[in-house]
Structure 1
Amino acid sequence: MGYRAFIFTAALAACAHAAIIRVPGDQPTIQAGLDSASEGDTVLVASGTYTGAGNRNLDFRGRDLVLESEAGAEATVIDCERAGRGLSFHSGETAASVVNGFTIAAGMAREGGGVACLSSNPTFTDCTITNNSAESGGGVACHSSNPTLTDCTITNNSAESGGGVACLSSNPTLITCRIAANTVEMGGGGMGCIFSSPALTGCTITGNTTTYSHGGAIALFESLPRLTNCTINGNSATNGSGGSLWIFDSNPSLTNCILWGNEPDEISGAHHYPGDPRIRYCDVEGGWDDVGNINVDPLFVSIPGFSNLLRPGSPCIDAGDPSISDGVGDWHPRWPDWYPNGARSDMGAYGGPGNARWLP
């Protein structure tokens, strides 16, 4: 048997032995489903709101499992009832530990009110993490972890620091995620980072607030974040500075991003340790001196389900890094066929060519 044939046969055998455990059909609670699963199994959860012991503080116990809902996040809720967090990953879980299609709500913990990752790298897709609270990381807390979140919404969480996401010595990846309406007291309404290098692509960070400190959207302490095609809008540092970014000895890299309408200013840093931001091909209110940047109203338009779209005629269209072509997925509205939009990348989270989904 050739090498490729052997690998294919092994993969088929692995799939054949993977089981599906249904909740509540086979097991009464989500944790019971996880505990009965073996490596590679899927725990499939029926629609409903899950409360009580066995449906919070969920633990994969270091195994590569898939926890998936049958009907998606809107129909499948893990309600922690302020008695713990939704999920805890602390046993070296890998990217093959997957959570797909849940709302994780009403969690409360010291770190990570909704989800906590400690020395683990789980994967989250199509999840909503909302109305959770913690001292650090109201929605998600990452400590020495590199989780991946795709198409997730992190909203209406609260904390002392890192309202939506808190990162300590971590490098999470967020792809087409929405971080909105989170609040903190001390810093990083949307995200707070210490010694971390998160990567955000196609994300919107909007309406987050810090009440007594800096970084309405993002607060950075000795960190190296990378943001590409992100929109940062409507965030506020009520009694501080850096509505979009507050920087302490950090070197963030931003490409094709929009920083507009944040209060009291867009970017601010510690007086003696401002860091060295690399911000290029971005629309920054008030201006930022670097390659390809503009300081012009992006002309946002909203429709039900989507905000911060680029109106036809927006100066952010075809104004991104010319070495990057428009990349458009099926997850967001696209440009109508009749509207001229070139192959050059746009600024913000919603650029790109396509169909007439959101314009008459």
Structure 2
Amino acid sequence: MRIVTSVLLAAAVAAAGVIVVPDDYPTIQAGLNAAAYGDTVLVMPGTYPENITWPARDGIRLYSAEGPAATVIDGGGNGRVMDIAGNSIREATELRGFTITGGRMEGSSGSGAGIRVSDANPVITGNIIRGNENVTDSGQTSGRNYGGGLYIRNDASGRATEVRFNVIDSNRQVDGAWNYGAGVYVTGAGGAVLRQNVIRGNVNESEHNPSNRGHGAGVYIADGALLFSNLIVGNVNRTNAWNYGAGVACTGTRAELYANTIVANACQGGTWRYGGGVFVYLNTAAAVKNNIIVGNAAGQGGGLYRFDHASALLDNSHNDVWNNTGGNYANCSPGPGCISEDPLFAAGPMGGYYLSQVAAGQPDNSPCVDAGDTIITAWPVNLDSMLLAWTTRTDSVMDAPPIDIGYHYPVGVMTGVAEMPSFVCRPVRVTPNPSTGSVRFSLPGTGGPVRLAIHDAAGRLVRVLTGVGPLEWDGRDAAGRKVAAGVYPWRVEGGGNITSGRLLRL
């Protein structure tokens, strides 16, 4: 059976095709409907006014040709932008490189105005999920709004939905009796892995209806989520009654928060304001480790709030919890390795939350440098090794043991990181793209040496080529192994120019 399955899978991959929108089909929905397992739907730049229902089959990759800044799916305020549902949809399905905006769910309740993932576990990579909203009608007193930007319900145990390298910002939920997860809402036994995302400026708020709850403006974990190396900043709960966990609200079991930077989130207004940075509720088992939790605000527990009940279990260690309005801790205390000091943030090429380090040119070392501990988690990868491939330094030198506390920026060219620098440069010709064999990179008019660096989707360096004139990559890594199908960010430097892009391998 295993041999037969492998043969069939190989045949399916070999037969995979590329569907180009709008060249082959005028809309993204039509392209998806026509796609089979292993196909890539490649979308050219533009704004696509669509409300998309993903076909109930696995193995379709929806990629933009030029990234989220150039490729927008706009729901136009006419409902959910994208619905991905069905347990047949698994890790072979990927959504990559779009701006998802203009989703609006109205009525008594709403979920996933930007993207709703229900009983599925696709991979969601390098998107901007922005400006979507769940709005309960005026006069409704029992409305439930879950996941303004992204809603994930995954009941398949052992099959986590992976969300990586996205920007999830400026989504909101309004007037529900329950407003949970304006940015992201996660529930279900399968859970989700959120890594290397920027989650910022999401809001739960009230306009007309009384007795509203605002929980988890940035992220609400109802069950089973790992938050790993995310930047969670400036999210706000400001409903007229209960405001819990502006950055992250943890309820249910298996909430794991490792190596995140959680800063400037706030619970405002209402009667109860608990946990500006992180809130841990009843019947919860939360592990909070190697995080920076600073400058958040709430009535109590501006940094970290644990509900005062025996069922609220918190493993708290090696965090920097400092300068939070309403107190750094409520109903809990600093655990092993925890500090309370200014993290000394430094501005660098991709944003303002690097750590000051003398070796990178700053006058002082952040107390968060080398202050972390080994991370242990059930997710089947070595999280420590991933952190060591990323950086907290403004000169982009990768971390080295002992691990630094807090969010780590990716090294290399990554899709979906909002604060990537842009360069004005001559175009590079990449032919063919998509490709199955060798690829030629030409940077016109340099007249001198050219350096080409190719990375994988996780930011790891795959291959470096140098030379004069066009360079040809044979689709193999530095060890001579043929690389897998997927998207490979590349960066070319030469003649005073720096140019980056992405290559699709089939």
TM-score scaled to structure 1, two decimals?
Answer: 0.88
Match of 2:219 among 188, 191, 203: 191
Output one character per residue of 1:210-232: Cα deviation in whole Å (capped at 9) or x when no partner: 01311111112223211211110
Cα offset for 1:351? Answer: 7.4
Match of 2:54 among 32, 54, 59: 59
Aligned to 1:346: 404
Match of 1:161 among 174, 177, 180: 180
Cα offset for 1:11? Answer: 5.7
Q: Structure 1's 333 and 344: CA in aligned 2 closer, same or farther, altered over 3 A?
A: closer
Secondary structure, aligned partner of 2:52: coil
Aligned to 1:79: 74
**For 2:150 and 2:310, how far apart are their aligned partners in 1?**
27
**For 1:67 and 1:10, how far apart are their aligned partners in 2?**
22
Tell me if the contact between 1:325 and 1:344 (Cα under 8 Å) persists in the aligned partners: no
Tell me if the contact between 1:217 and 1:243 (Cα under 8 Å) persists in the aligned partners: yes
AA matched with 1:179? I
Aligned to 1:227: 257
Secondary structure, aligned partner of 2:274: coil
1:128-143 alignment runs, 5 A limit: 128-134=128-134, 135-143=145-153
Secondary structure, aligned partner of 1:73: coil
Aligned to 2:461: none
Aligned to 2:199: 179
Cα offset for 1:57? Answer: 2.7
Output one character per residue of 1:295-328: Cα deviation in whole Å (capped at 9) or x when no partner: 1110112246412211121000011116856834
1:32-51 alignment runs, 5 A limit: 32-51=30-49
Aligned to 2:279: 246
Matched, 1:315 2:367: yes
**For 2:53 and 2:16, how far apart are their aligned partners in 1?**
21
**For 1:335 and 1:303, how far apart are their aligned partners in 2?**
5
**For 1:49 and 1:334, how far apart are their aligned partners in 2?**
36
Match of 1:98 among 91, 94, 100: 94
Question: Mean Cα displacement is larger for which, 82-91 or 140-149?
Answer: 140-149
**For 1:274 and 1:8, how far apart are their aligned partners in 2?**
46
AA matched with 1:252? A
Output one character per residue of 1:98-156: Cα deviation in whole Å (capped at 9) or x when no partner: 10111100111210011101111111111110000122101011123532111111100
**For 2:8 and 2:187, how far apart are their aligned partners in 1?**
38
Aligned to 1:275: 312
AA matched with 1:46? M
Match of 2:63 among 68, 90, 115: 68
| Identical-pair percentage | 29
**Structure having the higher Rg:** 2
**For 2:184 and 2:386, how far apart are their aligned partners in 1?**
28
**For 1:46 and 1:341, how far apart are their aligned partners in 2?**
37
Aligned to 1:107: 103
1:117-156 alignment runs, 5 A limit: 117-134=117-134, 135-145=145-155, 146-156=160-170
Cα offset for 1:255? Answer: 1.9
**For 1:209 and 1:128, how far apart are their aligned partners in 2?**
19
Match of 1:23 among 18, 21, 30: 21
Cα offset for 1:274? Answer: 6.4
Secondary structure, aligned partner of 1:318: coil
Q: Structure 1's 119 and 303: CA in aligned 2 closer, same or farther, altered over 3 A?
A: same
**For 1:306 and 1:22, how far apart are their aligned partners in 2?**
34
Match of 1:218 among 242, 248, 254: 248
**For 1:222 and 1:7, how far apart are their aligned partners in 2?**
38
**For 2:316 and 2:193, how far apart are their aligned partners in 1?**
19
**For 2:410 and 2:34, how far apart are their aligned partners in 1?**
45
**For 1:153 and 1:15, how far apart are their aligned partners in 2?**
31
**For 2:99 and 2:119, how far apart are their aligned partners in 1?**
23
**For 2:398 and 2:236, how far apart are their aligned partners in 1?**
37
Question: Mean Cα displacement is larger for which, 29-38 or 280-289?
Answer: 280-289
Q: Structure 1's 43 and 69: CA in aligned 2 closer, same or farther, altered over 3 A?
A: same
Structure whose residues are more often strand by fraction: 2
Q: Which runs of 5+ in 2 are unaligned?
A: 135-144, 174-178, 206-213, 323-327, 358-364, 376-383, 413-419, 422-506
How many residues get paired?
347
Output one character per residue of 1:266-308: Cα deviation in whole Å (capped at 9) or x when no partner: 1113334661211111111236421111111101122464122
AA matched with 1:235? N
TM-score scaled to structure 2, two decimals?
Answer: 0.64
Tell me if the contact between 2:354 and 2:393 (Cα under 8 Å) persists in the aligned partners: no
**RMSD of the TM alignment (CA)?**
2.7
Output one character per residue of 1:19-56: Cα deviation in whole Å (capped at 9) or x when no partner: 111100000100100111112211110011101xxx22
Tell me if the contact between 1:334 and 1:353 (Cα under 8 Å) persists in the aligned partners: no
Question: Mean Cα displacement is larger for which, 167-176 or 178-187?
Answer: 167-176
Output one character per residue of 1:325-352: Cα deviation in whole Å (capped at 9) or x when no partner: 683446x664548x99752100001279
